[in-house]
Amino acid sequence: MPETTLAGPTLADFERARGVVSRVAEVTPMESSHYLAELLGSPVHLKCENLQRTGSYKIRGAYNRLAQLSDEEKARGVVAASAGNHAQGVAFAARELGIAATIFMPIGVALPKLQATRNYGADVVLRGHTVEEPLRAAAEFAASTGAVLIPPFDHRDVVAGQGTLGLEILDQVPDLDTVIVPIGGGGLIAGVASALKQRFALKGRTVRIIGVQAENAAAYPVSLRNGVSTEITITPTIADGIAVSKPGMLNFDIIKDAVDEVITVTDDDIARAMLVLLERAKLVVEPAGAVSVAAIMTGQVLNAGTTVAILSGGNIDPLVMERVISRGLAASDRYLKLRLLLPDRPGQLARIAELISEANANVVEVLHTRHGRNALISDVEIELSVETRGPEHVERVLGHLIEAGYDPRVDF
């Protein structure tokens, strides 16, 4: 495929952007994963943009866009809206280029992301409780002050900056067959897919690009079926970094031609992937950045050959991380919460603890109440949180309790 057949940046544009982006972006590590390779049946590498400056790939597109501004535009300053990674990327790029930056963020933004954006020198304005409200406020600010609005994904310069990641991947894994990329608005995958497809076409080779979205925020499968960028209603997801209700127009035009497949994963899939990355690879990855690994773990990637999964970011609030780890443990049957009704007499709780111990499980928390909804006056209800070691162990614990005459109810 000639490099000019795709919408958006040409291969020459990506190469030029690489020279610009290299002024600030690190060449992030490429780690091999034996665990994921066993699941996939072929080599798997992890592209660690979670270790990038500002904690995500966003610095690439933001810096490339700001670097293209004229002196007159730079003097007017820039404005952006974001709940996290785009905000930090724009703030960092503006600081490096000596440009005044105003960033609108929702009131409930995670404290680490808010502090990081301010520490990069941006003027942060908190507005509204959803991403849509800061977006409107940023557009109004641009119109009233003349500041240049920096979009998170739907711009040629942004796509060119993000595509430098694709060229970097090819340098590190020359025998590449498949790349798995998280998708929100589509800036990252549009850039990576276009850069790689054009580079491979020059060599007479092919590369497979797979996009991954959170199931509760999956605008691309619908849009691709409709043949046009389509807005959807987003439902809550832990992958807030890719929760975008409508694909970018330029991004969609590139993706419909350059991306081979788009799949979705659930929040439980994402939580399991984050846990695997933490335990097996010793990598802290935010939910949006872990969807590529979730796609492999759910068995949706087949016949992939040598594969690179992009870990797009690592900016996660420690409190959110704690909750996600708990969810990942539960989704992996390593954390079991169950309820039992017991006669209200001495020794019953000790007997339950003994039975669980005999099944080689560990009780980590107990809630004991006489006010359970289903309890008789002569009963008490207990809620137990138990550490387990997978599905078979869960069945053994439950079976041991049932054999002893109890009726455990699993709390999902």
Instruction: Tell me, yes or no, if 246 is annotated catalytic.
Output: no
Q: What share of the chain is helix, strand, coil (3-state, %, to 5)?
A: 50, 20, 35
pTM (2 d.p.): 0.87
Place of tokens 């138990």: 386
The active-site residue out of 56, 194, 223, 312 is: 312
How many degrees, rounded to 5, is the angle at CA 40 between CA 312 and CA 255? 45
Mean pLDDT over the full length of the chain: 92
Q: pLDDT-derived band of residue 345, with 50, 70 and 90 as boundaries? A: confident
Of residues 152, 184, 181, 169, the one with CA closest to residue 59 = 152
Write down the pLDDT at residue 2: 42
Write down the pLDDT at residue 336: 86
Report the pLDDT averaged over residues 245-258. 96
Write down the pLDDT at residue 266: 97
Report the pLDDT averaged over residues 339-358. 88
Determine which of 98-102, 172-176, 407-411 has the lowest per-residue pLDDT on average.
407-411
> What is the signed CA dihedral for 316, 317, 323, 326, rounded to 10 degrees?
50
pLDDT tens track for 384-412: 888 898 889 989 989 999 999 888 888 76
Report the pLDDT averaged over residues 46-74. 97
C-alpha span between 18 and 380 (Å, rounded):
66
For residue 55, give the amino acid letter.
G
Residue 8's region, left for phi above 0, alpha for psi from -120 to 50, else beta, is left
pLDDT tens track for 4-30: 478 899 999 999 999 999 999 999 999
Write down the pLDDT at residue 49: 98
Indicate if the pLDDT at residue 380 is higher than 80: yes
Write down the pLDDT at residue 374: 64
For the residues of 2-50, what is the DSSP string, one character each?
Answer: -GGGSSS--HHHHHHHHHHHTTT-----EEE-HHHHHHHTS-EEEEEGG
Write down the pLDDT at residue 261: 97
Instruction: Tell me, yes or no, if 58 is annotated catalytic.
Output: yes
Determine which of 51-55, 158-162, 328-332, 373-377 has the lowest per-residue pLDDT on average.
373-377
Q: pLDDT-derived band of residue 1, with 50, 70 and 90 as boundaries? A: very low
111 or 376, which is more confident? 111
Beta-carbon count within 10 A of 78 CB: 27
The active-site residue out of 47, 58, 113, 246 is: 58
DSSP state of 147: P
386 or 265, which is more confident? 265
